[in-house]
Homo-oligomer: A and B are copies of this chain.
Amino acid sequence: MMNQNEVCKEFQTHPDVIEAARNDLLSNVEYEYMSVLFKMVSDPTRLKIINALFDRELCVCDLMVLTGMSQSSISHQLSKLKQTRLVKSDKRGKNVYYTLKDEHVRQIFRQALEHARE
């Protein structure tokens, strides 16, 4: 049995490498922003929505049909995507039309798809 305090005493790590790595570290705020973005694209329902919106605008009903999810679920997810500025909405008549807003999302989506297909 051992105490956490006794783990990894300074001289047993790799100080030179740690120093080099430390220069590459980002701020906690940056990690948090990245985390938020990735959380948004880490749910299959939202991925379907993003995929469907990739090249066109769609209303909520269109998205219901395409994803097979309930109206409420789609609305909740669109709400989150909007809060995090990944989509924007345009209300016209009774419908609300959504489009992708962030080009990084497209890039990230494409990369992940390549990864998935390996």
Contacts and interface: CB of A to CB of B under 8 A. Distances in A.
B111 A21 contact: no
A13 B105 CA distance: 26
A91 interface: no
Interface size class of A (residues with CB under 8 A): 35 or more
Contact of A26 (B58, B111, B113): B113
Binding site secondary structure of chain A: helix
A65 B24 contact: no
B34 A113 contact: yes
A1 interface: no
A64 B21 CA distance: 12
B51 A44 contact: no
22 contacts: A4-B70, A8-B60, A8-B64, A14-B62, A28-B44, A30-B116, A30-B117, A31-B44, A33-B116, A34-B47, A34-B109, A34-B112, A34-B113, A35-B42, A38-B42, A38-B112, A102-B115, A104-B111, A104-B112, A108-B111, A108-B115, A111-B111
